[in-house]
Amino acid sequence: MKNTIIKGLTDLVEQKRDNLIRQMVVQLEAQGYKAVLEQATVQQFCRQFALSPVEFALRCLPVAACYALTPISQFNVGAIAIGQSGSFYFGANQEFVAASMQQTVHAEQSAISHAWLAGEKAIAHMVVNYTPCGHCRQFMNELNSAERLKIHLPHSQNNLLHNYLPDAFGPKDLNIQNVFFDGQSHPFNYQGHDPLIRAAVEAASQSYAPYSQAFSGVALQLGELIICGRYAENAAFNPTFLPLQSALNYQRLQGLIDVKVRRVVMAEAKADLTSLPMTQSLAGAHLGLDIEYISL
Ligand SMILES: [Zn+2]
């Protein structure tokens, strides 16, 4: 049986009858529906269709939107973060039944978290099929590339993020120099032999929590595979991205939605705040699992 992403992509090919979209879906199928296009693949498509990378990304947006999970809104948003490497990282909005509204993921957050976990060092362009909401403008202002980040929409291209967010408040206002996407290393030790716990501790070590120091990471066990997610804070606090969302998003964009999650480990540094209650709530509602919690 086809999963919802594959069904969405198949329907899109039938509706659009567009050669580029058909070939994109063939490419995704060949890579197990992993929603990333390496720089060499991007160049190949750009040459074949005589498009710039941004023009190509705009054409890919309906494909990215097929990765959305929208049981509440049925409103699918697709985004593509173009890394400084030239690779494309797809993202899409996600909503979780029986969890709170605050647990939802926006498409721009999805694409950015995807790129971060894939090891990209900076985002050069954000391409999205609807104008970014205020929450996402603030989320993107935390990036190490915020000053030069360009936003491209179907109706308007080549605008700086700061055109959408004038007189912005960001990490520099709070004297944070090492910002989101700069290398993070807060080494936490784990002496045991459980690879899932090790992965969660490692994810916490690379998380971004300059405001609360509540570094955290989540690791999901999917069969033999481990998928991690990292916590990422924001100067304005509320667009902060939680580690289980980060992991579930990465699972989805790796084309692994059919693989059952068997265990969830969360590792978190002791601090004045905690993401544990919200993470427990989402793990229960979405995965039907209790969290194994490691306090660092
Ligand atoms: Zn948004």
Residue 254 lies inside a defined structural domain of this protein: yes
Whether 283 and 218 share a structural domain: yes
Q: Do 91 and 109 touch, CB atoms closer than 8 A?
A: yes
Distance 152 CA to ligand 1 centre (A): 14
Residue 76 lies inside a defined structural domain of this protein: yes
Token pair of 4 as six digits: 């919802």
Q: Which of 105, 106, 86 is nearest to 40 (CA)?
A: 86
Reading phi first (left if > 0) and then psi (alpha if -120 to 50, else beta), residue 253 is in alpha
Whether 87 and 168 share a structural domain: yes
Distance 173 CA to ligand 1 centre (A): 22
Whether 87 and 37 share a structural domain: yes
- Supply the pLDDT for residue 187: 83
Residue 202 lies inside a defined structural domain of this protein: yes
Boundary residue ending a domain (139, 174, 209)? 174
Residue 185 lies inside a defined structural domain of this protein: no
- 95: DSSP letter: -
- The total of structural domains in the chain comes to 2
Residue 61 lies inside a defined structural domain of this protein: yes
Q: Do 135 and 114 touch, CB atoms closer than 8 A?
A: no
Catalytic annotation, pick one of 108, 120, 233, 268 = 108
- Supply the pLDDT for residue 2: 76
Its domain, for residue 45, covers 4-22+32-174
Token pair of 14 as six digits: 């039938």
- Supply the pLDDT for residue 64: 98
Residue 179 lies inside a defined structural domain of this protein: no
Compute the chain's Rg from CA coordinates: 18
Residuewise pLDDT in 10s, the chain (296 residues): 679 999 999 999 999 999 999 999 999 999 999 999 999 999 999 999 999 999 999 999 999 999 999 999 999 999 999 999 999 999 999 999 998 999 999 999 999 999 999 999 999 999 999 999 999 999 999 999 999 999 999 999 999 999 999 999 999 999 999 999 998 778 898 989 999 999 999 999 999 999 999 999 999 999 999 999 999 999 999 999 999 999 999 999 999 999 999 999 999 999 999 999 999 999 999 999 999 999 99
Boundary residue ending a domain (113, 140, 174)? 174
Residue 92 and residue 167: Cα distance in Å, rounded? 28
Residue 9 and residue 63: Cα distance in Å, rounded? 7
- Supply the pLDDT for residue 147: 96
Whether 51 and 99 share a structural domain: yes
Please give the distance of CA 208 from its chain centroid, rounded to a whole number: 14
Residue 204 lies inside a defined structural domain of this protein: yes
Boundary residue ending a domain (174, 203, 219)? 174
Active site residue 108: yes
**Collapsed DSSP state (helix, strand, coil) of residue 171:** helix
Distance 109 CA to ligand 1 centre (A): 8
Q: Which of 237, 231, 124, 230 is nearest to 174 (CA)?
A: 237
Q: Please state the pTM of the whole predicted model.
A: 0.96
Distance 67 CA to ligand 1 centre (A): 16
* Neighbouring residues of 70: CB distance < 8 A, sequence distance ≥ 6: 76, 93, 94, 95
Whether 143 and 251 share a structural domain: no
Residue 219's CATH number: 3.40.140.10
Whether 162 and 219 share a structural domain: no
Whether 206 and 168 share a structural domain: no
Whether 68 and 168 share a structural domain: yes
Residue 36 lies inside a defined structural domain of this protein: yes
Distance 137 CA to ligand 1 centre (A): 7
Whether 199 and 119 share a structural domain: no
Q: Phi and psi dihedrals of 219, rounded to 5?
A: -125, 135
Distance 132 CA to ligand 1 centre (A): 5
Distance 108 CA to ligand 1 centre (A): 6
Residue 230 and residue 244: Cα distance in Å, rounded? 8
